[in-house]
């Protein structure tokens, strides 16, 4: 977990279909894990109240879209949404200006939105196991990006701008 030491809550492996209402009353939370063997397909709007949240793990759920409350959590440093059913990310992801790590492994993403270019603090993007066919060139302009993980992606023809990323020290795993 990237730089969190405050209050945390783990609802790991609870077979939840919804997030309990009490969670969004915990406005002091810095870490929230609702992952593995849960069945969340959406999140309640009340979760956007978690303004102090720095780490959010929603891995291994049933999310088809990244819920809007997530993109309202402007202080997020690390977001994990691996093993869901995401087919796209919303343009509102641009609101996550502090985000350093974006873990999207094993979803159904074919591309990323241009809005990802607004995430100037982003250091890591994990797209392993997605059917990626295109990546926006704005990734090459992310000043702090140092790891782009595309292992197990068999559908992408590496674009020429990958060389620019690698030349400045970004590790690209194919």
52: pLDDT strictly greater than 90? yes
CATH number of the CATH domain containing 87: 3.80.10.10
Instruction: Evaluate whether residue 119 is within a structural domain.
Output: yes
66 within some domain: yes
Query: Is 41 a member of any domain?
Result: yes
Residue 19 is predicted with a pLDDT of 77
Measured in degrees and rounded to the nearest 5, phi and psi for residue 140 equal -65, -15
Query: What's the pTM?
Result: 0.92
**What average pLDDT does the segment 90-104 reach?**
97
Instruction: Identify whether 3 is part of a domain.
Output: no
Confidence of residue 21 (pLDDT cuts 50, 70, 90): confident
Percentage of residues in the chain having pLDDT higher than 70: 96
Q: Is residue 1 part of a domain?
A: no
Domain-embedded: residue 2: no
Q: What pLDDT digit, counting tens, does each position of 30-49 carry? A: 999 988 877 888 888 888 88
Position 23 pLDDT exceeds 70: yes
pLDDT of residue 47: 84
pLDDT, averaged across the chain: 92
Phi first, then psi: what are they for 139, rounded to 5°? -60, -35
Could you give the number of structural domains in the chain? 1
Q: Show the tokens assigned to 62.
A: 């049933």
Range of the domain at 113: 8-173
* Start-end of H helices in the chain: 68-71, 162-167
**When comparing pLDDT for 28 and 18, which is higher?**
28
Q: Which has the closest alpha carbon to 82: 111, 106, 116?
A: 106
Q: Is residue 45 part of a domain?
A: yes
User: Considering only CA atoms, which of 2, 1, 53, 3 is closest in space to residue 19?
Assistant: 53
């Amino acid at each position: 977990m990237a730089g969190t030491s405050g209050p945390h809550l783990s609802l790991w492996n609870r077979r939840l279909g919804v997030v309990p209402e009490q969670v969004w009353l915990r406005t002091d939370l810095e870490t929230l894990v609702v992952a593995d063997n849960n069945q969340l397909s959406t999140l309640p709007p009340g979760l956007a109240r978690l303004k102090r949240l720095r780490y959010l793990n929603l891995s291994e759920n049933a999310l088809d879209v990244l819920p809007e409350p997530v993109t309202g959590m402007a202080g997020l440093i690390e977001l994990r949404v691996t093993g869901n059913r995401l087919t796209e990310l919303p343009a509102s992801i641009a609101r996550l200006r502090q985000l350093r790590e974006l873990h999207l492994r094993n979803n159904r993403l074919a591309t990323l939105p241009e809005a990802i270019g607004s995430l100037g603090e982003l250091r890591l993007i994990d797209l392993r196991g997605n059917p990626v066919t295109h990546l926006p060139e704005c990734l090459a302009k992310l000043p702090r990006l140092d790891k782009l993980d595309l292992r197990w992606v068999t559908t992408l023809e590496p674009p020429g701008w990958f060389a620019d990323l690698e030349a400045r020290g970004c590790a690209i795993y194919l």
